[in-house]
Chain A
Amino acid sequence: MKKHLFKYMLMLLSLMSYHSMAQQKRTVDFIGGARSVLSNNNIVVSDSIPDTTTIKRNSGGYALIDLGVDIKPNKHTEILGMFRIRNAYGGFWGAGVTFDVRQLFLKGVISDKVRYQVGDLNLKQTPFTLFNHHADRLDSLPSVFKLQNDILNYEKFYRDNTWRQQGVNVDFGFEFAKGIKELNFTGYLTRLNATDFSSIPERLMGGTRIQLIQSKNLALSYNGFSVFDVKGTVLDSNTYTNNVNSIGLKYLYELNKNTIVFNGEAGRSNVQYAEDFDKSYLADYFINASATFNWLKKNLSFTAGYLNVGPDFRSIGAQSKEIDYSSLTGYYNRYTNDQIIRPISVMDLIVGDSLYATSVSTKLNIANPIYNNAMPYGLATFNRLGAYLKLDYHNEKGIQLNAQHFYLNEIRGQGTLKLKQFQVTKLTAQFEMDKLFHFQKRMNIQIGLMNEMTNRNSDVAVEKVDLKTMRYQLGAEYELFKKIDVLAGGMFLNCKGNEFIPQRNVYTTVSFFEEANYNMTQKIIAVGARCRFDEKIHLTALYQVSEYNDKLIASPKYSINQFALIYNMTF
C-alpha cells in the first residue's frame, strides 16, 4: 500500500512538473520542508532507593519530508496538498515508515467578490470567541530553546493565535462611497468531531464576523461563535451547545502627532446540555476595554486596560488550552522503582509535543498552578476582574522591550466567600548587539522574567492561599564564524506556596478541591552550535541539561541530559 502510494505520488509530481513546464507558466509550486532529528537522552533519578527499574538511556530520531503541491489552475483558484513521509531511525522499509496527508485545502475567489476556502483552515476571531491564547507558553524564548519550540509550533500548526480546523470559510465585503467605508462579512463552519452513530454525536463549530469600518478612526464589529451537536446523529438527545456573541469597538483618536487607540469587546456566553439543562446551563458576560497611547516619535506604546470575565463565562473556542497536563510526556513518562508518572517540567513545555492539542475541545483542560495560575485560559480566563498595563518599546538599533502587569481578583469565591488576588508581571527584552554596537557579526541577547503571585487572605487558616512563582531566562547567540553561530541559554523556575486545585465535572463546574503544596526549583541550561546554510536551512547541535527538584519530595528529583542533532529546512 505504502509502496503504491509513494509511486502514485511520484507520478503525480512528474505530471505536474511536466504540465507546469509545458505551459511555460508557473502554475504549480512545490513547497514544504524537511527535518531530521537525532537525539540521545539520559535520565538521572535521585530517589531514596536507587531507581533500578527505569531504562535510563534513550536514543532515536527520525527523518521526514513534507512535500506540498501548490496548484493555481487559474488566477482565482489555489489548491494545496501536502504529504508527509516520515521514517524513524532504525526502522526499515514497511515498518517505521509513515505516509500521511498533512495539509489539504482549496481556496479561491468567486466573481472577484467572495473569497472561500475549503479543507484545512487556520481560524481565529477575538480573544473571547475563537483564539488560541498559548496561555502557558514561555514568552521571548532564548534562541537555543526557540528552535526546538519552533518544531513543535510547526507540527501543531500553531500560527499566531489560530486553531487548525477542517471545514469551510467564506468572506466578502462591500465598499461605500460615503457614510461608512467598508462592511465585511466572514463566516465559517467546521467539524469538531464526527459521529460514530452510537455514542459520539456529530459536533460542529461555526462563527460569524461582521465588521463595519466607518472610517480610519472608527470600526465596529459583531462576533458570533457557536459549537453544537447535530441532533439525530446519535440516539441520545442530550446535545451540547455553546454560544458566544460579542460586539467590538476600535476608535483611533489623533492627538498631535501621536494616537490613542481605544479597543473594546463585550459579550455574553451560554452553554448547556439539552437533557441536563438544570445541571449544565451556565451563562455570563465579559468586558475587555483598553486604551493604547502610541508615542510614535519615540516608538513607544503604553496600554491601560480593564478586564471583567464572569465566573460562568464559557467559550470553548477561547478557553481550550493547548496543553493537557493530564497527558503523558513523550519519553521518560514514568520513573522511579514504583514507575510513577514523571511530572511535567519546563523542558516538556518547550519540546513535549505529546502534551499539546491540535484542536478545540469541549473538555476544559485543567490549569497547572506552577506554570500559570492567574490566567490559565489567557484573557478569556473566567472569574477574573481587574486591570492591566502594558508597555512596548522597539527601535531601529535593535532594542525590543515589553512589559506587562496584570492585577486581577476573583469575582466568585472558590470554596469560600473570600476572593483570591492575582498579580502577574512579565518583562522581556531583546538586544541585537550587532546593530547596537555596529559589530560585523550577529549577536543577540534575550532576557525574560515572569513573576506571578496568588493570595487569598482569610481569618480561617485553612482557607489561606499564598503561591509565588518566579521564572527567568537568559539567552545569547553569537556568530562565531560566517554563518556559524554559538547559542546558549538558561531558564529557571521557582514555585513555592499552596493552592486549591478545582476538580470539575463534565459540566465544567467545580465538584471538589484538592490542596496542593509546592516548593520546587526547575532549571534548563542549553548550549549549541548552529550552521545556517541560508535563512531557511540550518543544522544545529545541542546539549541541554534540565533539572526538576521538588523539595517537598512529592515527586523525586530528576535531571534529563539530552544531546540532539537537528537538521531543518523549508522550501
Chain B
Amino acid sequence: MKKLFTLLMIISVIVSCRKDDTSFDGNNIQEMYSDFMVLSTFKVDKDSLDFANGEKAVFSAQFNKPVSWKISIKGQTSKAEKIITGQTKFIDATNATWNGSTTVFPMFKAENCIAQLTIDGVADTFQVQTKVKSLKVNQGLVIADFENGFSPSWTKFVQTGANMDFNIKNDTLCPQGAKYLRMAGTVNWDYLIGLIDYPATAYGTTKTLNLSANPNDVYFNCLIYGESASNPSIVLFQFKEDENADGSINGNSDDQYDYQINVNWIGWKLVTIKYADLVTLVNGQPSTPKGNSQHNPDKIGKISMLHLADPSQGFAACKIDYIMFTSAPLEP
C-alpha cells in the first residue's frame, strides 16, 4: 500500500506541472467578427510590368483583421485572368506577387490590366490598374504552338470521316500567340480521327530531342480546349525513343511512353506531366516497354499526337496549343 501511495504521489506531481497557457492559436475570433477596416489601401508597386525581363508585380494592402481575400487581375484586351487568394490581415510580397502567369486562359498580351480585390463578407471592392509591357517568357522546348502553320517536317494524317477539321485557327479563342489547332470529326469505323507526327529532326537535331537525360527534370505540357463535358475526344501523345540513336524507331526494341488525356471538360486547361511518370499503354492499359524500360527524354526520336474517340460516340472535337517541354511544371 505504501508503494501505491508513492506512485500516486509521483503521478500527482507530474500532473500539476503544466503551466497555464497565456496565448492562443490562430487568429483572434473576436477580431474576426469585428467591423472591417482598411488600414492600408490596395496598391500595386509598378505601373508598367516588363515580365520578359523578370519583373514582378507586388500587391499590397492591410486590414484590421484576417480576411479571406481574392485578387483578380484581368487583361483588358485578351480577357486573360490571374487569380491570387489568401486568408491574412495583410497583402504583400509574401502572398501576392504576380510573375505574369495566367489562371484563366487565354494568356496575357501586352495590354492594360485591372486588378480587383474582393473580400469575403465585404461589399466594397478595390481596384488598381497596371500595364503589361512585355510578356512572361516560358523557357523550354516548344514542340508546336502553330504560330508558323504546319512545319513541313511534321507528318499529318486525317481520316476521311464526316465534318473533319484538322486545321490551324486564328480567332479570339486562341490561348497563346495568335493561332491554335482544332481537331474534330466523326469517324464511325475507327478510334483514330487524325494524327500529327513531330520528328526530332524538326527541332534542329539530327536524331533525338535536345532534352535533359534526367526524366525527373523534364515536364511535358500543353493547353487543351474541351468543347463539351460529354465530348468523347481522347488526345494520346506517344513519346517514341530511339535508344540506340540509329535514326529509326523500332517498335520491338525501343521504348515508347504514352500520355492519354480524356478531354471531358469545357474550356482551356493546362495539362502537365513529368516524363518520369509516363507509362507505356497498349489499348489504354499499362504495359511493359519494349526497350530498356528506362525513361530517356534525351532519346526521344519522335512524338505522335493522336486524336481518338470511341466510334460509337459520334462527333468529337478539341483544340490544342502550346505543346512544350520544360524543366519544371509550366506556369504559362
Residue of B nearest to A196 (CB): B216
Q: What is the distance, in angstroms, from A37's C-beta to the closest C-beta of chain B?
A: 22
Is the CB–CB distance between A266 and B29 below 8 Å? no
B32 contacts chain A at the CB level, 8 A cutoff: yes
- Digit string of B1-24 for contact with A (CB within 8 Å is 1, else 0)? 001100100010011001001111
Is the CB–CB distance between B216 and A198 below 8 Å? yes
Is the CB–CB distance between B29 and A412 below 8 Å? no
Is the CB–CB distance between B276 and A513 below 8 Å? no
Q: Inside 8 A of B23's CB, which chain A residues have their CB? A: 412
Is the CB–CB distance between A513 and B32 below 8 Å? yes
Give residues 476-521 of A contacting B (CB, 8 Å). 500, 502-503, 509-513
Is the CB–CB distance between A311 and B25 below 8 Å? yes
Is the CB–CB distance between A460 and B21 below 8 Å? no
**How many angstroms from the CA of A500 to the CA of B287 in the assembled complex?**
49
Q: What is the distance, in angstroms, from B242's C-beta to the closest C-beta of chain A?
A: 23
Is the CB–CB distance between A196 and B30 below 8 Å? no
- Specify which of A264, A308, A412, A415 is in contact with B21 (CB 8 Å cutoff): A412
Whether A95 touches B284, Cβ cut-off 8 Å, given contacts A287-B14, A462-B33, is yes
B125 contacts chain A at the CB level, 8 A cutoff: no
Q: Inside 8 A of A253's CB, which chain B residues have their CB? A: 3-4
Is the CB–CB distance between B14 and A266 below 8 Å? yes
**How many angstroms from the CA of A413 to the CA of B21 in the assembled complex?**
8
Interface size class of A (residues with CB under 8 A): 35 or more
Q: What is the distance, in angstroms, from B191's C-beta to the closest C-beta of chain A?
A: 14
Q: Inside 8 A of B292's CB, which chain A residues have their CB? A: none
Is the CB–CB distance between A251 and B27 below 8 Å? no
Q: Inside 8 A of A413's CB, which chain B residues have their CB? A: 21, 24-25
Residue of B nearest to A287 (CB): B14
Is the CB–CB distance between B7 and A262 below 8 Å? yes
Q: Inside 8 A of A416's CB, which chain B residues have their CB? A: 24, 28-30
B214 contacts chain A at the CB level, 8 A cutoff: yes
Q: Inside 8 A of B111's CB, which chain A residues have their CB? A: none
Give residues 68-110 of A contacting B (CB, 8 Å). 94-95
Is the CB–CB distance between A311 and B29 below 8 Å? no
Q: What is the distance, in angstroms, from A186's C-beta to the closest C-beta of chain B?
A: 26
B285 contacts chain A at the CB level, 8 A cutoff: yes
Residue of A nearest to B1 (CB): A253
Q: Inside 8 A of B214's CB, which chain A residues have their CB? A: 197
Is the CB–CB distance between A197 and B216 below 8 Å? yes
B87 contacts chain A at the CB level, 8 A cutoff: yes
Is the CB–CB distance between A415 and B33 below 8 Å? no
B283 contacts chain A at the CB level, 8 A cutoff: yes
Q: Inside 8 A of A192's CB, which chain B residues have their CB? A: none
- Specify which of B11, B25, B283, B288 is in contact with A412 (CB 8 Å cutoff): B25
Q: What is the distance, in angstroms, from B29's C-beta to the closest C-beta of chain A?
A: 4
- Digit string of A292-316 for contact with B (CB within 8 Å is 1, else 0)? 0000000000000010101100000
Is the CB–CB distance between B24 and A308 below 8 Å? no
Please classify the interface of chain A as helix (H, G, I), strand (E, B), loop, or mixed, using the class held by over half of its residues.
Answer: strand
A22 contacts chain B at the CB level, 8 A cutoff: no
Residue of B nearest to A94 (CB): B285
Q: What is the distance, in angstroms, from B14's C-beta to the closest C-beta of chain A?
A: 6
- Digit string of A399-428 for contact with B (CB within 8 Å is 1, else 0)? 000000000000111111100000000000
Q: Inside 8 A of A460's CB, which chain B residues have their CB? A: 30
Q: What is the distance, in angstroms, from A303's C-beta to the closest C-beta of chain B?
A: 15
Whether A287 touches B24, Cβ cut-off 8 Å, given contacts A197-B216, A462-B33, A513-B29, is no
B55 contacts chain A at the CB level, 8 A cutoff: no
Is the CB–CB distance between A415 and B32 below 8 Å? yes
Which of A198, A253, A510 neighbours the largest number of chain B CB atoms within 10 Å of its CB? A198
Q: Inside 8 A of A310's CB, which chain B residues have their CB? A: 18
Q: What is the distance, in angstroms, from B283's C-beta to the closest C-beta of chain A?
A: 7
Is the CB–CB distance between B18 and A510 below 8 Å? no
Q: Inside 8 A of A415's CB, which chain B residues have their CB? A: 24-29, 32
- Specify which of A94, A262, A266, A414 is in contact with B26 (CB 8 Å cutoff): A414
A385 contacts chain B at the CB level, 8 A cutoff: yes
Is the CB–CB distance between A462 and B11 below 8 Å? no
B217 contacts chain A at the CB level, 8 A cutoff: yes
A289 contacts chain B at the CB level, 8 A cutoff: yes
Is the CB–CB distance between A463 and B287 below 8 Å? no
B66 contacts chain A at the CB level, 8 A cutoff: yes
A1 contacts chain B at the CB level, 8 A cutoff: yes
Give residues 214-265 of A contacting B (CB, 8 Å). 251, 253, 260, 262, 264
**Subset of 15 A-B contacts with CB under 8 Å:** A1-B288, A94-B285, A253-B4, A264-B11, A266-B14, A289-B15, A413-B21, A413-B25, A414-B26, A414-B29, A415-B32, A416-B29, A462-B30, A463-B29, A512-B66
Q: Which residues does A use to contact B, with CB under 8 Å?
A: 1, 94-95, 196-198, 251, 253, 260, 262, 264, 266, 287, 289, 306, 308, 310-311, 383, 385, 411-417, 460, 462-463, 500, 502-503, 509-513
The 6 closest A-B pairs by CB, nearest first: A510-B26, A413-B24, A415-B29, A462-B33, A412-B21, A198-B216
Q: Beyond A411-B21, A512-B68, list 16 extra A-B contacts (CB 8 Å).
A: A1-B288, A251-B7, A253-B3, A289-B14, A306-B15, A311-B25, A412-B21, A412-B24, A412-B25, A414-B24, A417-B22, A462-B29, A462-B33, A511-B27, A511-B87, A513-B29
